[in-house]
A and B are shown apart, each in its own frame.
Chain A
């Protein structure tokens, strides 16, 4: 029992790597949704492509801001 408990609790390396992984999941899902929805909207109303493009740019900028901060946190603060 003791051995099993020890093995389960054993962790080597840096746990912050998991933080980077989680920081990468969010932006990937976010950008996927943003771009997918923009394509869908453009297919419905191609004449609004310009406005949709700028809205997509804002969405990507906000999403990648989180990713940059997450990655920088992992590399600099750990």
Chain B
């Protein structure tokens, strides 16, 4: 399993986690705080998991742009630039969400913490279960399993 497939699997499971946390948090938030609780939980989950998933997305984009040459300015520029941009947008959005009347801030905060810890658990589980080879080389041609086609 190479890096791209690991990152894709992380993104898929993060999306599943987002749905689960939004539904469970939304129900609990609605029971405790009514509609503001529901919206707070949904907003918190979306914020946390959207920005959590952006790291994996920026890594995939960086691998594509740098064409596998990871020791390059483009690669680390995209990963770290994406990280910086993500935090600026996160702070701006959270500043807006905090002042909304129809969002319960405590529900949003609890769902952000749960979603972030859950996304860490998802990342770790996927990576532990992924059988990544030490030397990561993609086969030249998938139909020949990496062997030159002339030998078939």
Contact = CB atoms under 8 A, between A and B. Distances in A.
Main secondary structure of the interface of B (DSSP, over half): helix
Interface stretch (B19-27, B30-38, B87-95, B139-147): B87-95
B18 interface: no
Contacts of B17: none
21 contacts: A39-B71, A48-B135, A49-B70, A49-B71, A50-B3, A50-B136, A54-B6, A54-B132, A57-B59, A57-B127, A58-B127, A61-B52, A61-B55, A64-B52, A65-B117, A68-B116, A71-B90, A71-B94, A72-B109, A76-B105, A77-B106
Given A50-B3, A54-B6, A62 B120 contact: yes
B83 interface: yes
Interface residues of A, number: 29
Given A64-B87, A72-B94, 4 more contacts: A35-B80, A43-B71, A65-B116, A72-B44
Main secondary structure of the interface of A (DSSP, over half): helix
Contacts of B109: 72-73, 76-77
Interface in B69-114: 70-71, 76, 79-80, 83, 87, 90-91, 94-95, 98, 105-106, 108-109, 112-113
A53 B123 contact: no
Range, interface on chain B: 35 or more
Interface in A6-65: 31, 35, 39, 42-43, 46-51, 53-54, 57-58, 60-62, 64-65
Nearest to A24: B87
A9 B80 CA distance: 40
A67 B84 CA distance: 12
Nearest to B115: A68
